[in-house]
Amino acid sequence: MEYESLLVDTSNQVTTITVNRPAKLNALNHQTIGELRQAFEQAGHDEAVRAIIVTGAGDKAFVAGADITEIRDQSPVQARAFSRRGQQLMLEIQQTEKPVIAAINGFCLGGGMELALACHLRLAAESARLGLPEINLGIMPGFGGTQRLARLAGTTRALEMTLTGDPIPAQRAADLGIVNQVFPVSELAGAARALAGRLAACAPEALRGILQAVLRGSETDLQTGLELETARFALCCATEDMKEGTAAFLEKRKPSFGGS
């Protein structure tokens, strides 16, 4: 599929989605949000794809936010629809049944931060800066940032970052548990590909089970979460991949997971 604002490349079972508006620091306009929904839908349903990377084009930004020129011209009713549409995209990304890695290669602000927060794993370049600076525009985050940042880093940090709007360096984000790992910028893309490749070689049903048990389980009470874990564990044990994984271990060889 051809996109106006995205580059999408699939190789070795990994789809890389690159937001490609470098002259606007990859800001998310309506078009880009719609294309991201399409690209994630396609990669999510393609059985040949087992992991997804999202990143930004150019050497300056991951995504520097929702497109401020579009926000400015919205009526309140349009703004409400814009927020719901952005939230829907982020929810679809979070609910993707294969691992989604954000490779944060530069400014990761506003809607860009919200995009990164919806991903399952976040790798960042040392030079990246992450924040929710909407307060400086007289608005607030509207694509899930208030909810996901508070859940991820706690209300103390979430309130500090949203009320001041001050971005933080990648290493600080890692210290706060917002980012998984930090790399020199020249190593980031390779590190993301290596991690995605490693995940792509895993048993897909086990990956799906883990994603659901951790993400849905953490939103519910322990008993319900444990029941979900048991159900998904049992489902893993009904797969050919479980037979392959256990046989490979006992035969002292590397497993080859076919996805069935």
Q: Which of 107, 193, 205, 210 binds ligand COA (CB under 6 A)?
A: 107
Per CB under 6 A, 74 contacts ligand COA? no
- Alpha-carbon gap, residue 98 to 53, rounded angstroms: 11
**Residue in 92, 114, 187, 229 annotated catalytic:** 114
Residue carrying the six token digits 């040949």: 48
User: Does position 110 bind ligand COA by CB under 6 A?
Assistant: yes
Angle at 231 between CA 223 and CA 119, to 5 degrees: 85
**196 C-beta neighbours (distance < 10 Å), count:** 26
| Interface stretch with ligand COA, choices 42-50, 64-72, 93-101, 203-211 (CB under 6 A) | 64-72
The token duo for 134 is 């909407």
By the rule CB under 6 A, 145 interacts with ligand COA? no
Active site residue 92: no
Q: Which residues contact 77 (CB under 8 A, 6 or more apart)?
A: none
DSSP E strands in the chain: the ranges are 6-11, 14-19, 51-56, 61-63, 100-104, 107-109, 121-125, 129-131, 168-169, 181-183
* Whole-angstrom distance, CA of residue 200 vs CA of residue 177: 24
Query: 134 an active-site residue?
Result: yes
| Catalytic member of 47, 70, 126, 134 | 134
Q: Are residues 168 and 162 in contact, defined by beta-carbon separation less than 8 angstroms?
A: no
Please return the burial class of 118, using the count of CB atoms within 10 Å of its CB with bins 0-12, 13-18 and 19+.
buried
Q: Which is nearer to ligand COA, 86 or 245 (CB)?
A: 86
- Please say which residue, 3 or 82, places its beta carbon nearer to ligand COA: 82
Task: Measure the N-to-C terminal CA separation of the chain; round to a whole number of Å.
Answer: 27
By CB under 6 A, tell whether 245 contacts ligand COA: no
For position 64 contacting ligand COA by CB under 6 A, the verdict is yes
21 to 60: interface string for ligand COA, x by CB under 6 A: ---xx-x---------------------------------
Min separation Cβ 30 and ligand COA, Å:
12
Among 67, 114, 205, 241, binds ligand COA (CB under 6 A): 67
- Nearer to ligand COA by C-beta: 109 or 149? 109
Number of residues that bind ligand COA (CB under 6 A): 16
| Region of 1-9, 20-28, 211-219, 232-240 interacting with ligand COA (CB under 6 A) | 20-28
Dist. CA 193–CA 200, nearest whole Å = 10
The residues of the shown chain that bind ligand COA, judged by CB under 6 A, are: 24-25, 27, 64-69, 107, 109-111, 133-134, 137
Active-site residue set? 114, 134
